[in-house]
């Protein structure tokens, strides 16, 4: 088994554990490269099926191509897709001009919480990776949140030998992270190997490409001439730029992501 085989086998094992342990479960699909790889792994784990709904948290500020791609793939894969928007916050005028962290909290974190409450999901599967950002590097595969989805990162249960914490008090909520051990390069090497369809915003046009996708007002393309997957892999091997350099909310505060994630951000 090579390195990608090992990552694939581990992620599939975790997906199957999650599916076996929780009766109300869903997967978060952000349309980006990681959660699209995760969707592919779900189809592998369950032999061509996707036995739980996918959730897309739509802030209404997403890059329009993302929504088009989402609807196309959902139809092609015959997905049970839940699209949720925090209408209430939008009515009250929420938007990035109110402050990026405030906006992220309302349109993403709070919106996510609304879906969880509405459908009473016990657990959510997310495509976060350790190498994306410092606070994500500290995550567990099965990560307990309290009723308000808050994360107590200073007191996480031990997790070893693939024996995950799967017993929880009533009312708690669990985040499952099958891609924790993958890196950005692994994701692209896997996309290439498996020939997974990804959105073409990742490929360079006029000397710029997106490395990480988010909302249009807060996500900026980085300089790049990578027009193919091979170009991207080569670029990543040599880059000095952080993956989330184009994500404005990260730059607001040295510990911005940690603060957002503690409150339930993905």
Partner 1 sequence: MTARELLKIVVVGHVDHGKSTIIGRLLYDTKSVPEAAIERVKRICKEKGRPFEYAYLLDALEEEQKQGITIDTTQIKFSTPKRDYLIIDAPGHKEFLKNMISGAANAEAALLVIDAAEGVQEQSKRHAYILSLLGIQKVYVIVNKMDMIGFSEEKFKEIKYEISSFLDKLNVYPQKYIPVSAFLGENITRKSDKMPWYKGEPLLEALDLFEKDKELEDKPLRFPIQDVYKFDQRRIIAGRLESGRLKAGDEIKILPEGKVSKVKSIEFWPENNNKNEVMAGMSVGITIEDEFFNKRGEIIVHKDDNTLYVSDTFRANLFWLGKKNLVRNKTYKLKLVTQETECEIISIDKVIDATTLETIENANEVRTNDVAEVTIKTKEKICFDEFKANSSTGRFVLVDGYDVSGGGIVAGLADLKEEVTKLVKEDIEMVVSCFDEYYYLLPEGIIRKYSNHPRTFKVGDAVPIEGETYSYPDSFDIIDLNKKLIAKIRKGCLSDLINLDGYTYSELPIITADGFYVKVNSVEEFKNFKAELVQLNEKDNFFLTMFANNWFDISKNRTFKFGI
The residues of the shown chain that bind partner 1, judged by CB under 8 A, are 1-3, 5-6, 8-10, 12-13, 16-17, 19-20, 43-49, 51, 130-131, 133-135, 137-138, 153-154, 156-161, 163, 165, 167-169, 181, 183, 239-242, 245, 254-255, 258
Q: By C-beta, is 43 or 205 nearer to partner 1?
A: 43
User: Least distance to partner 1 from the beta carbon of 13, Å?
Assistant: 5
CB of 77 to partner 1, least distance (A): 12
Residue 48 CA to residue 5 CA, distance in Å, equals 18
Q: How far is the CB of 242 from partner 1 (least distance, A)?
A: 3
Within 10 angstroms of residue 95's Cβ, the number of other Cβ atoms is 17
Closer CB to partner 1, 16 or 84, in the complex: 16
CA distance 70 to 214: 14
CA distances from 125 to 78, 174, 254 (A): 19, 9, 27
CB closer to partner 1 out of 43 and 68: 43
CB-nearer residue toward partner 1: 61 or 168 = 168
| Residues sharing a CB contact under 8 Å with residue 6, sequence separation 6 or more, in sequence order | none
Query: Closest separation between CB of residue 229 and partner 1, Å?
Result: 16
Q: d(Cα 29, Cα 127) in Å, to the nearest integer?
A: 8
Report which DSSP code applies to 254. Answer: T
* Smallest distance from partner 1 to CB 155, Å: 9
Q: What is the dihedral of CA 194, 17, 108, 89, to 10 degrees?
A: 130
The candidate with the shortest Cα–Cα distance to 156, out of 137, 179, 133, is 137
From residue 54, alpha-carbon distances to 50, 65, 131, 145, 218 in Å are 9, 19, 24, 20, 24
Shortest distance in whole angstroms from residue 165 CB to partner 1: 5
Decide the pairing of beta strands 222-223 and 208-209. antiparallel
| Shorter beta-carbon distance to partner 1: residue 60 or 258 | 258
Residue among 199 and 257 whose Cβ is closer to partner 1: 257
* Whole-number CA gyration radius for the chain: 18
- At its nearest, how many Å lie between partner 1 and the CB of residue 169? 6
Helix, strand, or coil (residue 255): coil
Cβ-based nearer residue to partner 1, 66 or 191: 191
């Amino acid at each position: 088994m090579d390195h990608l085989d090992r990552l694939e086998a581990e992620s599939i094992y975790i997906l199957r554990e999650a599916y076996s342990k929780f009766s109300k479960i869903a997967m978060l699909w952000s349309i980006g490269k990681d959660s699209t790889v995760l969707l592919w792994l779900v189809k592998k784990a369950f032999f061509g099926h996707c036995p739980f709904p996918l959730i897309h948290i739509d802030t209404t500020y997403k890059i329009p191509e993302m929504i088009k791609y989402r609807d196309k793939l959902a139809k092609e894969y015959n997905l049970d897709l839940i699209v949720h928007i925090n209408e209430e916050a939008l009515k009250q005028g929420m938007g990035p001009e109110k402050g990026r962290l405030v906006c992220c909290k309302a349109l993403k974190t709070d919106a996510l919480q609304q879906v969880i409450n509405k459908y009473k999901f016990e657990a959510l599967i997310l495509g976060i990776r350790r190498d994306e950002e410092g606070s994500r590097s500290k995550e567990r595969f099965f990560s307990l949140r309290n009723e308000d989805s808050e994360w107590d990162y200073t007191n996480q249960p031990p997790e070893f030998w693939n024996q995950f914490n799967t017993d929880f008090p009533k009312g708690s909520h669990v985040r499952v992270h099958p891609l924790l051990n993958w890196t950005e390069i692994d994701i692209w090497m896997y996309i290439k190997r498996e020939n997974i369809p990804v959105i073409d915003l990742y490929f360079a046009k006029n000397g710029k490409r997106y490395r990480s996708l988010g909302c249009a007002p807060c996500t900026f393309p980085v300089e790049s001439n990578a027009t193919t997957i091979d170009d991207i892999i080569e670029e990543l091997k040599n880059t000095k730029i952080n993956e989330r350099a184009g994500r404005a909310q990260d730059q607001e505060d040295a510990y911005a992501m940690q603060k957002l994630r503690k409150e339930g951000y993905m």
